[in-house]
Amino acid sequence: MKHSVYLGLGSNVGKRVEFLAAAIRGIADFEKTVVDDVSKVYRTEPVGNVPQSEFLNLAVSVRTDLTVEQFHQKMKWLEKEIGRTESERWGPREIDIDLLLFDAVIMNSEVIRIPHSEMVNRNFVLQPLSEIAPMAVHPVFHKTIGELLNETTDHHGVEYSEMHTSQLFPLINDSITNPTV
């Protein structure tokens, strides 16, 4: 597999753990793609001014032979298959799959923005991503994910959830090639 991809997943509606598991299994089913690792699950405060429940967030490490465009298209299709409904910006989500990094690609089209434009400002992205890829380098800031986490000024709560992690991993272990948990 020639491309290294990092994803951020989140859910704060309905059966959150099941939605996260369905997303990971779905990504593992993409052709020419393997899921290498999945972070622990973190309970996180929502960002923005929309009243809503806390999120469950995690990060996923993937290798693929798909192009950025192919991978992104499959990702968006998977969100809909799992049951994502459209809502307001920063609103509640059954499942949210964000393409954080794709190799060292920098892309800013109407459809795809890589690296994810807000990732450096979000503890709920940096904390789980630093767990599975602390040495991955942000192609714009030329800093590792670990460095960006140490430098972030985001003060939204991010807390490891042992309960949700222990619920998730039995549902996905067959989909991961190299789990750290």
Active site amino acids: 84, 93, 96, 98
Residues 6+ apart with CB under 8 A from 145: 126, 129, 130, 133, 134, 135, 136, 137, 138
Residue 175's alpha-carbon distances to 29, 43, 101, 119, in angstroms, are: 8, 23, 21, 25
Torsion of CA 171, 37, 86, 159, to 10 degrees: 90
Handedness of CA 141, 142, 146, 147 (dihedral sign): negative
Rg of the chain over CA atoms, in angstroms? 15
Q: What single letter denotes the amino acid at residue 83?
A: G
Torsion of CA 167, 176, 107, 10, to 10 degrees: 0
Q: How far apart are CA 125 and CA 19, in angstroms?
A: 18
Q: How far apart are CA 59 and CA 158, in angstroms?
A: 13
